[in-house]
Amino acid sequence: MEHQRITEHGPTRRTVLATIAVGSAGALAGCLGGGRDGPAAISLDGSEQCDNCGMRIGMHPGPVGEAFYGDDAPPSLPDGREDGIAWFCSSTCTYNYLLENEERGHESQTAYATDYSSVEYELRDDGGTTVISAHLDAAAFANLHDLTFVANSDVEGAMGKSLIGFTSEGDAEAFAAEHGGELLTHDDVTREVLSGLGM
């Protein structure tokens, strides 16, 4: 089914972010660095295993991610992995891995996640849970800094509650209006936020 844009929506992004900022005061440890400089996103073929949890990426719905570490690859990555790339079955695994390795002194050059503004996504019922389609082509990825995420919606991904990203803030607002959730940017994602997703 083609996703639809909704013109009526709930709280503005500014209101949601202000509320989160107040609730997160003093709890900003674990904010991510990283940037935009690094290799371009690459397509995944689905056979890869998530470097955070070990699940096979192509077997699950929802947003996926990848991060490039170059010569500063975390020791957990296999030797010889080109560009020190790590790949992930979900956006929550992406952020958990990035945060954990940044705390250990390994900062990614750049990282990407699925951009649902760039694809015709589908929602489907999976045993009573609404899940969103996965998209593994390089063209479906956007830099984490360019995404507005919908967190805690009633739509799930590979690891349950998810961070569903859109390069269009309007698309994110429309999705949240229809499916619930809060709007976040890359800089808002902390350990506390991930913990609130049950991750």
75 φψ region: left (φ > 0), alpha (ψ -120 to 50), beta (else): alpha
| 141-186 pLDDT, tens digit each | 999 999 999 999 999 999 889 999 999 999 999 999 999 999 999 9
E strand or H helix at 196, and its extent? helix 191-196
For residue 31, the Cα-to-chain-centroid distance in whole angstroms is: 15
Dist. CA 76–CA 52, nearest whole Å: 9
List phi, psi (to 5°) of 188.
-85, -15
| 110-152 pLDDT, tens digit each | 999 999 999 999 999 999 999 999 999 999 999 999 999 999 9
User: DSSP 3-state assignment of 175?
Assistant: helix
What's the pTM value of the predicted model, to 2 decimals?
Answer: 0.83
- In this predicted structure, what is the pLDDT of residue 196? 85
According to DSSP, the residues that pair with 130 across neighbouring strands are 125, 155
Tell me the pLDDT band of 105, cut-offs 50, 70 and 90: very high
